[in-house]
């Protein structure tokens, strides 16, 4: 299947949606010029001083590094903080935001990225499952809540990857550290992100619609994403892209943890777990432990961008939403794009190239009159 056909299929999935869930990993920021730290070689190219010290990402992204060599740990995180502050989100963020604004239930974000790019691009409902570099917490866990890093001005010796000057301190006198879930991190304060998770779960619940509302939508043929004057009728598609009847039990999710054919879903651990890879749950599902039989699965499109398998928080969450709550998954990944057709569509390419291609397909469809 060529790229143009893939873009057309992806555009059709978006046209059929009434809500957009963006699930983003480190690959989303690559087109903005941010490193993704893929493997030791990629990490050491970005931070040669750490290569000379023989430290890999898991060793420096660790609370022990702040206790053992705080100037080096803050050299690494201070450099990243300034880099993320200076980086402008690429065009793909604006495309996703515009698509979401045209859908009845809007858009929300689940991301393992700590860079704050989605907030900088103007997204409101964002769950940062691994925390944010733009917030700080006490290394000793004194009980004070996380505080913003706005006043922090990094001064880094980039050759040695070391912080220069006085280190950031908590009001209690202890060292401050980024409010990020690190490796081997039993002291992470996830309170900000638990609140984000609740907001995201509330948004997912609002995507549910009663059967009567579905019938009304089919009759009135709701407007398209790209703003065409010709609005095609909404279609319900079954697990293998075949036309299906709204409300048909064969096309509804199975019991919690299963898809309609009984395949076991992958549900990530509770938010706030002490190891990387956490994702929120409500009961046993991101959409709740019970589903009302008077409601259809949401016409939700999950767009997963640059989410790998090494730390699969993002992939697991997006898959769980689709398997347990309905909807379709669009996986965009240049290296790890494999996806069963029963779940959706995969685009084996970078985030920005894929999003531009989908937007071009939407515009072509508009010009054809829908």
Q: Which two tokens stand for residue 342?
A: 């029963």
Using CA atoms, how far residue 14 sits from 50, 166, 270, 318, in Å, is: 43, 50, 30, 16
Cα(346)–Cα(6) distance, integer angstroms: 8
CA distances 43 to 40, 69, 102, 113, 121, Å, are 5, 19, 38, 16, 26
One DSSP character per residue, 16-31 reads: H-SEEEEEE-GGGGGG
Tell me how far apart the alpha carbons of residues 60 and 58 are, in angstroms, rounded to a whole number.
Answer: 6
Distance between CA atoms of residues 272 and 187, nearest Å: 10
The C-alpha atoms of residue 74 and residue 40 are separated, in whole angstroms, by 20
Strands (E), 126-277: 126-128, 131-138, 147-148, 156-157, 162-163, 176-180, 209-210
Angle at 128 between CA 122 and CA 130, to 5 degrees: 150
Q: Which residue has the tokens 């001083």?
A: 49
d(CA 285, CA 323): 10
Any catalytic annotation for residue 134? no
Q: Rounded CA gap, 169 and 74, in Å?
A: 12
Q: Which of 90, 127, 130, 134 is catalytic?
A: 130
Q: Which residues are catalytic, by number?
A: 130
């Amino acid at each position: 299947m060529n790229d143009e056909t893939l873009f057309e299929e992806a555009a059709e999935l978006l046209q059929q949606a009434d809500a957009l869930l963006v699930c983003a990993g480190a690959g989303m920021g690559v087109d903005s010029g941010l490193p993704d730290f893929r493997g030791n070689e990629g990490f050491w190219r970005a931070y040669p001083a750490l290569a000379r010290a023989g430290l890999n990402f898991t060793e420096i992204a660790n609370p022990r590094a702040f206790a053992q060599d705080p100037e080096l740990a803050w050299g690494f995180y201070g450099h990243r903080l300034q880099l993320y502050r200076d980086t402008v989100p690429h065009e793909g963020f604006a495309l996703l935001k515009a698509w979401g604004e045209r859908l009845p239930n809007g858009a929300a974000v689940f991301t393992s990225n700590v860079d704050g790019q989605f907030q900088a691009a103007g997204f409101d409902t964002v769950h940062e499952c691994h925390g944010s570099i733009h917030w700080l917490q006490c290394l000793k866990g004194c009980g004070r809540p996380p505080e913003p890093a706005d006043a922090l001005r990094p001064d880094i010796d980039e050759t040695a990857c070391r912080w220069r000057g006085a280190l950031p301190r908590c009001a209690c006198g202890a060292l401050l550290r980024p409010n990020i879930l690190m490796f081997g991190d039993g002291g992470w304060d996830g309170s900000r992100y638990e609140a984000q998770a609740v907001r995201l779960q509330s948004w997912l619940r609002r995507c549910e619609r009663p059967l009567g509302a579905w019938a009304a939508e089919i009759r009135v043929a709701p407007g398209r994403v790209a703003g065409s004057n010709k609005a095609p009728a909404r279609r319900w598609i079954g697990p293998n892209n075949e036309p299906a009847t709204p409300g048909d039990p064969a096309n509804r999710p199975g019991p919690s943890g299963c898809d309609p054919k009984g395949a076991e879903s992958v549900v990530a651990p509770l938010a706030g777990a002490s190891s990387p890879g956490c994702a929120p749950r409500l009961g046993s599902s991101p959409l709740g432990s019970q589903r009302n039989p008077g409601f259809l699965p949401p016409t939700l499109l999950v767009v997963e961008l640059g989410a790998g398998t090494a730390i699969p928080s993002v992939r697991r969450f997006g898959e769980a939403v689709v398997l347990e709550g309905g909807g379709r998954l669009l996986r965009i990944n240049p290296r790890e794009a494999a996806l069963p057709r029963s779940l959706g569509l995969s685009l084996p390419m970078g985030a920005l190239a894929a999003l531009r291609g989908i937007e071009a397909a939407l515009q072509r469809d508009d010009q054809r009159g829908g």
